[in-house]
């Protein structure tokens, strides 16, 4: 297993026990169950990866080769020519979409994480009237599906003439009730009161203590909240679908969706949809690879007693 995982002490201890302390193997695993387990995993590896492999292969082909060569193996390697064509198509609107998505999801998730962390931290570390009420309302917010909010948001935004603007998609994504929930649990568990007290004695203000001391201790949870929110915004479809008319404001998902619905009228779009889909996956995969150790830590934090 990966050597770069698990920060919470409990998990680390569990891992150490697992690695350095080979338990007395009384019940030895039979070769048969080993083979069975590997077979199951290999078969499902094919299930999960073949569609992506196919998409990659499709991205490397010219449109004629797409239909008359083996769909799961290379023909002439046209990947870069295809990317070049896609990027040049309609004055580079695809790049604009990728940039939009990066902005909606990157800046949105960053701010959402900050706001959720401050609120979760306050709920965990301070006592004030209405604290439990606030927390319960936020918790109810976790169960309210984001798609149910899209239509009323559209109605409200259209009254203040904010539909079809960047803000119509950006502002609602700054709220993460799940982030508040997660950071509250994490702050309660990982930021000792003694440390805050010590910072107070040193004369640091509450806000400064949060940004210099507590944020570091809460870091795994913050990365998790960031990733959750980033993925949620990146994948969000309903909100941009009803808010945006102007193509230059689209996130990449909505842009590719729009192209895909026009494939019947404009067949050349099919190639662009495929290569665009391939490229749109890359940023998330890179992000996961960069942040995966934090991501896995925090994932469990909300669910394990």
Partner 1 sequence: MSAPALPAADARSAAPRSPAARPRRIKVAHPRAIAIFIVPFAVLFTLFYLIPIGYAIYQSLLVVERDGTFGKATQVFGGLTQYIAVFQNGPFWESIGRVLAFGVVQVPVMLGLALLFALLLDSPLLRGKRFFRLAFFVPYAVPGVIAAIMWGFLYSPNLSPFTALTSNVSFLSADLVLWAIANVVTWVYVGYNMLIIYSALLAIPTEIYEAARLDGAGQLRIAWSIKIPLIMPAIVLTGIFSIIGTLQLLAEPQVFRTFSSAVTSTFTPNLMVYSTSSIPNVSLAAAFSVVLALATFVLSFSFLKFTQRKEGK
What part of residues 73-102 is at the interface with partner 1 (CB under 8 A)? none
Tell me: does residue 106 bind partner 1 (CB under 8 A).
no
What is the 8-class DSSP label of residue 4?
S
Tell me: does residue 134 bind partner 1 (CB under 8 A).
yes
Among 98, 109, 174, 199, binds partner 1 (CB under 8 A): 174
Interatomic CA distance for residues 272 and 92, integer angstroms: 12
CB atoms within 10 A of CB 28: 6
Nearest approach, Cβ of 129 to partner 1 (angstroms)?
7
- DSSP per residue, 137-181: HHHHHHHS-HHHHHHHHHHHHHHTT-TTSHHHHHGGGG--HHHHH
Among 18, 63, 92, 247, binds partner 1 (CB under 8 A): 18
Nearest approach, Cβ of 276 to partner 1 (angstroms)?
9
Half-sphere exposure (CA, 13 Å, Cβ side) for 289? 6
Interatomic CA distance for residues 21 and 150, integer angstroms: 52
Closer residue to partner 1 (CB): 78 or 252: 252
Interatomic CA distance for residues 6 and 295, integer angstroms: 10
Question: Can you give the three-state secondary structure of 188-245, one letter per residue?
Answer: HHHCCHHHHHHHHHCCCCHHHHHHHHHHHHCHHHHHHHHHHHHHHHHHCCHHHHHHCC
Among 98, 169, 180, 223, binds partner 1 (CB under 8 A): 180
Nearest approach, Cβ of 225 to partner 1 (angstroms)?
12
Tell me: does residue 44 bind partner 1 (CB under 8 A).
yes
Token readout for 164 is 């079809």
Number of residues that bind partner 1 (CB under 8 A): 118
Nearest approach, Cβ of 237 to partner 1 (angstroms)?
4
Of the ranges 76-84, 90-98, 147-155, 215-223, which one interacts with partner 1 (CB under 8 A)?
A: 147-155
Tell me: does residue 47 bind partner 1 (CB under 8 A).
yes
Q: Report 201-230 residues binding partner 1 (CB under 8 A).
A: 205-207, 210
Q: Report 227-286 residues binding partner 1 (CB under 8 A).
A: 231, 234-235, 237-238, 241-242, 253-254, 256-257, 260-261, 263-264, 273-274, 277, 280-281, 284-285
Q: Closest Cα partner for 234 from 106, 44, 46, 75?
A: 106
Of the ranges 79-87, 91-99, 175-183, 215-223, which one interacts with partner 1 (CB under 8 A)?
A: 175-183
CB-neighbour burial class of residue 167 (10 A; exposed 0-12, middle 13-18, buried 19+): exposed
Contact 295, 227 (CB under 8 A): yes
Among 34, 77, 88, 267, binds partner 1 (CB under 8 A): 34
Among 86, 98, 153, 221, binds partner 1 (CB under 8 A): 153
Q: Report 113-132 residues binding partner 1 (CB under 8 A).
A: 115-116, 118-119, 121-129
Contact 231, 143 (CB under 8 A): no
Among 99, 148, 195, 266, binds partner 1 (CB under 8 A): 148
């Amino acid at each position: 297993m990966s050597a770069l995982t698990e920060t919470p002490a409990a998990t680390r201890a569990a891992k150490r026990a697992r690695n350095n302390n080979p338990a007395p193997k009384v019940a030895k695993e039979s070769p048969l169950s080993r083979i069975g387990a590997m077979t199951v995993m290999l078969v499902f590896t094919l299930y999960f990866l073949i569609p992506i492999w196919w998409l990659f292969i499709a991205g490397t082909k010219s449109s004629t080769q797409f239909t008359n060569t083996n769909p799961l193996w290379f023909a002439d390697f046209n990947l870069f020519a295809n990317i070049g064509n896609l990027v040049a198509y309609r004055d580079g609107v695809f790049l604009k979409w990728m940039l939009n998505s990066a902005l909606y999801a990157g800046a949105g998730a960053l701010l959402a994480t900050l706001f959720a962390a401050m609120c979760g931290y306050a709920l965990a570390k301070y006592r004030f009237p209405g604290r439990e009420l606030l927390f319960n309302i936020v918790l109810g917010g976790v169960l309210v599906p984001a798609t149910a909010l899209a239509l009323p948001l559209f109605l409200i935004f259209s009254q203040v003439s904010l539909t079809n603007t960047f803000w119509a998609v950006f502002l609602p994504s700054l709220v993460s009730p799940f982030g508040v929930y997660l950071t509250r649990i994490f702050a309660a568990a990982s930021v000792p009161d003694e440390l805050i007290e010590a910072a107070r004695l040193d004369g640091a203000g509450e806000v400064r203590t949060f940004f210099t001391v507590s944020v570091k201790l809460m870091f795994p949870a913050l990365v998790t909240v960031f990733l959750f929110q980033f993925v949620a915004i990146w994948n969000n479809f309903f909100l941009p679908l009803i808010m945006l008319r102007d193509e230059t404001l689209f996130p990449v998902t909505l842009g590719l969706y729009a192209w895909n619905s026009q494939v019947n009228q404009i067949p050349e779009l099919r190639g662009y949809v495929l290569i665009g889909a391939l490229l749109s996956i890359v940023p998330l995969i890179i992000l996961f690879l960069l942040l995966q150790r934090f991501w896995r830590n925090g994932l469990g934090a909300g669910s394990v007693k």
